[in-house]
Homo-oligomer: A and B are copies of this chain.
Amino acid sequence: MSFDAAVHAKAIRLDTLALQMTGAAGSGHPTTATSLGHITTVLMYHAMRWVPEEPALNTADRLVLSEGHAVPIVYAAFIDLGAMVGNPGEYRPADMSDIDGFRATDSPLDGHPNPREGFAFFDAATGSLGQGLSVAAGLGAAARGDGIDQRIFCIVGDGESREGQVWEAVDSIVEMDLRNVLPIFNCNGYGQAGAVSSQQSPDRIAAKLQAAGMTVLTIDGHNPTAIRDAVEQFTNGADGPIAIVANTVKGWGIPSMQGGGWHGKPATGEKLEAACQELAATGVALTTSLAGSELAIYPPTTAQRTVIQASDYPSFREAMAAIDQTTVLQVGRLATRKAFGIALRIMGKCDNSIWAVDADVRNSTFLDGFADDPATKDRFVDCKIGEQNMISVAAGISAAGKNVFTASFGKFLTRGYDQIEMAMNSGANMKIVGSHCGISLAADGPSQMALPDVAWFRSLGSTRDHNGNPGCYVLQPADAWAAYGLTTAMGDYEGMCYMRVFRPEVEFLYDENTVFDLGGMEVLTEGRDLLIVSAGYMLHECNKSLDALDKMGIDASLLDLYSLPFDEDRLLDLANANGGNVLVVEDNYGGGLFSAVAEACCKAGDAFTIEPMHVTRIPKSSLNEASVLEQCGMHHEAITARAASMLGIAAHVH
User: How far is A616 from B580 in the complex, measured between Cα atoms in Å?
Assistant: 28
Pairwise interchain contact B464-A617, C-beta atoms closer than 8 A: yes
Query: Quick check: is A378 within 8 A (CB to CB) of the other chain?
Result: no
Interface size on A, residues (CB 8 A): 128
Q: Mark A191-217, 1 if CB is under 8 A from B, else 0.
A: 111101111100010011011110000
A105 touches B627 (CB 8 A): yes
Write out, one digit per residue, whether chain A residues 312-330 have a CB within 8 A of any chain B CB (1) or not (0). Answer: 0000000000000000000
* Contact between B425 and A446, CB atoms less than 8 A apart: yes
Residue of B nearest to A113 (CB): B447
Contact residue among B110, B418, B603, B621 (Cβ-Cβ distance under 8 Å from A103): B621
Which of A73-81, A268-276, A346-354, A453-461 touches B? A453-461
Interface centre among A125, A191, A385, A425 (most CB of B within 10 A): A385
Q: For the complex, give the distance between the alpha carbons of A125 and B444 in Å.
A: 12
Task: Assess whether A389 is interfacial by the CB under 8 Å rule.
Answer: yes
Contact among B196, B425, B465, B618 for A424, CB-based, below 8 A: B618
- Whether A86 is near chain B, meaning CB under 8 Å from some CB there, is no
Q: Does A41 contact B (CB under 8 A)?
A: no
Contacts of A385 in B (CB 8 A): 129-130, 159-160, 162-163, 191
Contact B125 A446 (CB under 8 A): yes
Taking the nearest CB of chain B, how far is it from the CB of A379, in angstroms? 17
Known contacts A452-B460, A594-B599; decide if A210 and B212 are in contact (CB<8 Å).
no
**A489 within 8 A of partner (CB):** no
- Stretch in A91-99, A136-144, A166-174 with 4+ CB within 8 Å of B: A166-174
Interface 0/1 of A422-444, CB less than 8 Å to B: 10110000000000000000011
> Could you give 26 example pairs across A and B, Cβ below 8 Å?
A27-B443, A28-B443, A104-B627, A110-B620, A117-B620, A128-B412, A128-B447, A129-B412, A162-B386, A164-B165, A167-B167, A174-B199, A191-B385, A192-B361, A193-B358, A204-B212, A208-B212, A210-B211, A417-B417, A421-B451, A425-B447, A456-B456, A463-B617, A464-B617, A465-B618, A603-B610
Query: Which residues on A are within 8 Å of B, measured CB to CB?
Result: 25-28, 68, 103-105, 110-114, 116-117, 125-130, 159-160, 162-168, 171, 174-175, 191-194, 196-200, 204, 207-208, 210-213, 358, 360-364, 368, 382, 384-386, 388-389, 411-412, 414-415, 417-418, 421-422, 424-425, 443-448, 451-452, 454-456, 458-466, 471, 580, 588-592, 594-595, 597-599, 601-603, 605-612, 614-618, 620-623, 627-628, 630-631
